[in-house]
Chains A and B, each alone.
Chain A
Amino acid sequence: MATTLRTLPHDQIQEDTWRTLRNTSPQYVTAVLLTGSVTAWGLICWAYQISKGLGVVGKTRPTMWALYILNFVFWIGISHAGTLISAILRLTHAAWRKPVTRAAEAITVFCLMIGGLFPIIHLGRPWLFYWLIPYPNSRLIWPNFRSPLLWDLTAILTYLTGSMLFLYLPMIPDLGQLGLHTGGARGLLYRTLSLGWTGSDREWHALERAMKLMAGMILAVAVSVHTVVAWDFAMALAPMWHSTIFGPYFVVGAIFSGIAALLLIMAVIRKTMGLEAYIQPRHFENLAKLLFLMSLLWAYFTVAENLTVWYGNQPHEMAVFGARVRGRYAPFFWSMVICNFIVPCVLLGIRRLRSIKTAVISAVCVLAGMWLERFLIVIPTLSFPPLPSAWGTGYNATWVEISIAISTFAAMALLYLIFAKLFPIIAIWEYKYVPDE
Chain B
Amino acid sequence: MYLMSEFSDQFTLAGAIQALKLRGADAADLDVFSTEPVDLPAGLLDRPSRMSLLTVCGGAGIGLLSVFFVYWTQHNYEIVTGGMPYFSPWATGVIHFELTMLGAVAGCFLTFLWESGILRRDKRAPVPKLASGVLYLRVRCEPSQMLATGECLYQAGASKVEKLEERA
Q: Which residues of A contact B (CB under 8 A)?
A: 10-11, 14, 134, 139-143, 145-146, 150-151, 154-155, 157-158, 161-162, 165, 169, 173, 177, 180, 195-210, 213-214, 217-218, 220-221, 224, 228, 231, 429-430, 432-433, 435-436
Q: Total A-B pairs in contact (CB under 8 Å)? A: 158
CA distance A146 to B92 in the complex (A): 5
Known: A158-B105, A213-B51. A145 touches B35 (CB 8 A): no
Chain B CB within 10 A, most for which of A10, A195, A205, A436: A205
User: Does the CB pair A204–B37 fall under 8 Å?
Assistant: yes
Provide the B17-57 mask, 1 if CB < 8 A to any CB of A, else 0: 00000000000000111111111100001010101100100
Query: What's the minimum C-beta distance from A122 to chain B, rounded to whole angstroms?
Result: 20
Give which listed residue, B70, B73, B117, contacts A202 with CB less than 8 A.
Answer: B117
Query: Which residues of the other chain, A, contact B102 by a CB distance below 8 angstroms?
Result: 154, 157-158, 161-162
Complex contact A210–B111 (CB within 8 A): yes
Assess the B55–A213 pair: CB atoms within 8 A. Answer: yes
Contacts A200-B117, A228-B94, A435-B39; is A180 near B101 (CB within 8 Å)?
no
Given known contacts A158-B105, A213-B55, A228-B94, A429 and B116 CB-to-CB distance under 8 angstroms: no
Residues of chain A within 8 A of B33, CB atoms compared: 198-201
CB neighbors of A among B74-106 (8 A):
74, 76-77, 88, 91-92, 94-95, 97-99, 101-102, 104-106
Report whether A206 and B133 are in contact in the complex, using a CB–CB cutoff of 8 Å. no
Q: Least Cβ distance of A52 to chain B in Å?
A: 34
Q: Do A214 and B37 have beta carbons less than 8 Å apart?
A: no
A433, B94: Cβ atoms under 8 Å?
Answer: no
Question: In chain A, what residue has the closest Cβ to B71?
Answer: A145
The answer to whether A14 and B88 touch across the interface, beta carbons within 8 angstroms, is no
Q: Are A141 and B132 in contact (CB under 8 A)?
A: no
Q: A150–B117 contact, CB under 8 A? A: no
Q: How far is it, in angstroms, between the C-alpha of A177 and the C-alpha of B127 when the chains are bound?
A: 13
What are 9 residue pairs bridging A and B, where the CB atoms are less than 8 Å apart in the complex? A145-B70, A154-B99, A198-B130, A202-B31, A203-B117, A206-B111, A206-B116, A209-B51, A228-B98
Residue on B nearest A227 in the bound complex, by CB: B94
A206 and B49 in contact, given A134-B73, A177-B35 (Cβ under 8 angstroms): yes
* B124 in the interface (beta carbon within 8 A): no
> A433 CA to B36 CA in the complex, in Å?
6
- Tell me which residues across on chain A come within 8 A of B112, comparing CB atoms: 169, 206-207, 209-210
Chain B residues with CB under 8 Å of A180's CB are 129-130
The contact of A224 among B77, B97, B109, B132, by CB within 8 Å, is B97
B47 touches A205 (CB 8 A): yes
B121 proximity list for chain A (CB < 8 A): 196, 198
Contact among B74, B88, B118, B133 with A203 in the assembled complex (CB-CB below 8 Å): B118
A165 and B38 CA atoms in complex are apart in Å by 23
Most chain A beta-carbon contacts within 10 A, residue among B36, B51, B129: B36
- Of all chain A residues, which has the CB nearest B73? A142
Q: Compute how far the CA of A436 lies from the CA of B9 in the bound complex, rounded to whole angstroms.
A: 13
In this complex, the member of B40, B91, B113, B129 whose beta carbon has the largest number of chain A beta carbons within 10 angstroms is B91
A140 touches B45 (CB 8 A): no
Also in contact, A134 and B69, with CB within 8 A (given A203-B116, A213-B55): yes
Residue B108 interfacial (CB < 8 Å): yes
With both beta carbons as reference points, the residue of chain A lying nearest to B37 in the complex is identified as A204
Kindly list 13 other residue pairs between chains A and B, CB separation below 8 angstroms, not including A224-B101, A228-B98: A145-B92, A151-B94, A154-B94, A154-B95, A173-B35, A196-B121, A200-B33, A201-B38, A206-B49, A210-B51, A213-B55, A221-B105, A430-B36
Cα-based distance from A161 to B47 in the complex (angstroms):
27
Q: Say yes or no: B91 contacts A202, CB within 8 Å.
A: no
What are the nearest 4 A-B pairs in CB distance?
A: A206-B116, A142-B73, A146-B91, A210-B112
Write out the residue numbers on chain B whose beta carbons fall within 8 Å of the beta carbon of A173: 35-36
Query: Which residues on A sit within 8 Å (CB–CB) of B51?
Result: 206, 209-210, 213
Chain B residues closer than 8 Å to A430, beta-carbon distance = 36
Contact A145 B115 (CB under 8 A): no
Closest residue of A by beta carbon distance from B113: A195
Question: Inside 8 A of A161's CB, which chain B residues have their CB?
Answer: 102, 105-106
Task: Give the residue name and chain of the B residue nearest to A435 (CB).
Answer: B39
A300 to B39, CA, bound (A): 44
In whole angstroms, what is the CA distance A205 to B38 when docked? Answer: 9
Chain A residue numbers with a CB within 8 Å of B34 are 199, 201, 204
Which residue of the partner chain A has the closest CB to B54? A213
Of B51, B105, B106, B117, chain A has the most CB atoms within 10 Å of the CB of B105
Bound complex: CA of A196 vs CA of B105, how far in Å? 22
Complex CA distance for A220 and B70, rounded to whole angstroms: 22
A76 to chain B, nearest CB (A): 14
Report if A200-B76 is in contact (Cβ < 8 Å); known contacts: A158-B98, A432-B36, A436-B39. no
Q: How far is the CA of A201 from the CA of B117 in the complex (A)?
A: 10
